[in-house]
Structure 1
Amino acid sequence: MNPLNGVLLVDKPVGMTSHDVVARARRILGTKGIGHAGTLDPLASGLLLLLIGEGTKVSDYLLNGDKTYELNCKLGVATDSMDITGEVLREQPVTSSLEEIKAAVAKLQGTLTLKVPLHSAVKVDGKKLYEYAHKGQTPEPNIIPDREMTFYDVQLIETTMASASPSGSTNVIVRMSCSKGSFIRAWANNLGEDLGCGGTVEGLRRVASNPFTVANA
């Protein structure tokens, strides 16, 4: 029997880690030769590319490809992880109008210099940032690096203002594409900072990883 080779498109559900998906695929397909191209956090859902056998040879190509996401950003909250799973640093009412929110979203395109999330694999002093977080340590703010990140085709899909929301929160749904090394959490955090109220990722879905889309998963 010929070994399995290729790229398997998976629509990862919320709650599973990328490693969980790989482990399940290894059991189902009966092979250990499986990796993935681009981690998705447990909070996120959507397209995860599994590389099987000879498929691992295209890993660099797929990892370097641009990706497209649909972001649910909750305004009025800032957390240490820049997503809803983190410790809340501050909460305050959203006073921006819909037009001000639209303008702030439209401005956050192109190559931006943003602060890297604390809960990330970026290394500082030889240690990954998430290792500091897991040990309850926080590096000095001035040593958490900034990074150039590129976002494009940023589209505001939907806005739920606090006055119309049963939970009293303001959420924006934004679709965007980004280059390798760009953090959607950093984008959401920066949107909140620009609006003066804080912002954090409440939901995230990867809908494309060039050249594949989640519709084909």
Structure 2
Amino acid sequence: MQKLTSGILVVDKPEGITSAGVVALVKRRIHADKVGHCGTLDPFASGVLVCCINQATRISRFFLHGDKSYEAVLRLGVETDTQDVTGKIVSASPVTVTEDAIRSAFDTLVGPVRQQPPVYSALKHEGVPLYKLARSGRPMQKPARDIVIHRLSVLAVDLPDVHFGVTCSGGTYVRTLAADLGRMLGCGAHLRKLVRTASGPFTLAQAAALAEIASLDGPPAEMGRMIEMNEALAFIPKQTADPRTAEKVRHGMPLTESDIRRPEPDGGSDWLRVVDPDDRLIAILAVKKENSGYNYCCVFN
């Protein structure tokens, strides 16, 4: 059987399956040695789930905390314990807000904000996921943390539902955003529907349907969906190593600026992508701040 090419496979996760379930199916159907995902998507949600295949699991760190974009539906007037449609109703109120009030509340939350992670989440306390503690009657509240809402726009108002789009920093809980909006509007709310349309540089347009993957029995090259690591990391500055230096890199030997030029100081990156003369990714280097050398992050064969 053809050896599986390492790379990124963007999956359009359907509703009703966990992110771990998607990873297990992908690994089984394409016969991969390793598969990991770059950011959990709740079972009730759908959309972009970025899967790293084989050697690409080593570069997942570069995508885990990237910005995310979503389209969602907010249901006003009903609060649930999980802040989404899967939870138990804890309060219900009449919805008498105006569209102007809704748009004003949305505008208020754009920019840097502090957000309290939900007690029903995959965050852990002493090694135990918070949702397991909450289900056992021992909810644990994590401290609020800083997030950034880059864009929060009302797409349509059809009370009690509000359709909206959001682009936010990694680690943002959109269902908590929905609950916060409900409290601001005085009627409570929960998240009824959530679709992730982008995760970092990856979009829904690149995604393969899970049914498409489930029909495979081997490497997904014929799908035309696998994204090469070099392409996926295009946002990291690139240096092409000559054959001598490429050999040094492949063996993890010390490197200096005489081997690899440092990126421009204003380039905004602490990382360097090294390719061989055939433009094949061979390493990711961390640029040392204190001197002219480099530390190895990943070396690829």
TM-score by length of 1: 0.90
Query: In the TM superposition, what whole-angstrom CA distance separates every residue of 1:29-77 from its partner, at most 9, and x where no partner exists?
Result: 1123111111111110001111101111220111021110111111101
In structure 2, the partner of 1:23 is: 24
Residue 96 of structure 1 corresponds to 97
Code of the residue aligned with 2:150 in structure 1: it is Y
**1:34 & 1:127 partners in 2: Cα distance?**
23
1:187 aligned onto 2:177? yes
Describe how 1:60-209 pairs up with structure 2 within 5 A. 60-124=61-125, 127-139=128-140, 143-161=141-159, 170-209=160-199
Q: Deviations over 1:134-191 (max 9, x none)?
A: 313234xxx5422222111111101102xxxxxxxx1111111111111111110100
Q: Are the aligned partners of 1:149 and 1:183 in contact in 2 as well (CA < 8 Å)?
A: no
**Distance of aligned partners of 1:13 and 1:148 in 2 relative to their CA distance in 1, 3 Å threshold:** same
Structure 1 stretches lacking a partner, 5+ long:
162-169
Larger Rg computed on CA atoms: 2
Moved over 6 A (4+): none
Structure with the bigger RCO (C-alpha within 8 Å, sep 6+) is 1
Give the C-alpha shift of residue 121 in structure 1. Answer: 2.6
Deviates more, 1:128-137 or 1:207-216: 128-137
| Partners of 1:18 and 1:41 within 8 A in 2 | yes
Q: d(CA) in 1 for partners of 2:16 and 2:7?
A: 26
| Paired position in structure 2 for 1:36 | 37
Q: Which amino acid is the alignment partner of residue 167 of structure 2?
A: S
Structure 2: which 5+ residue stretches go unaligned?
Answer: 208-301
Please, what TM-score do these two structures have when normalized by structure 2? 0.65
- C-alpha distance in 1 between matches for 2:124 and 2:35: 26
Distance 1:149 1:102 in 2: 20
Residue correspondences, number: 206
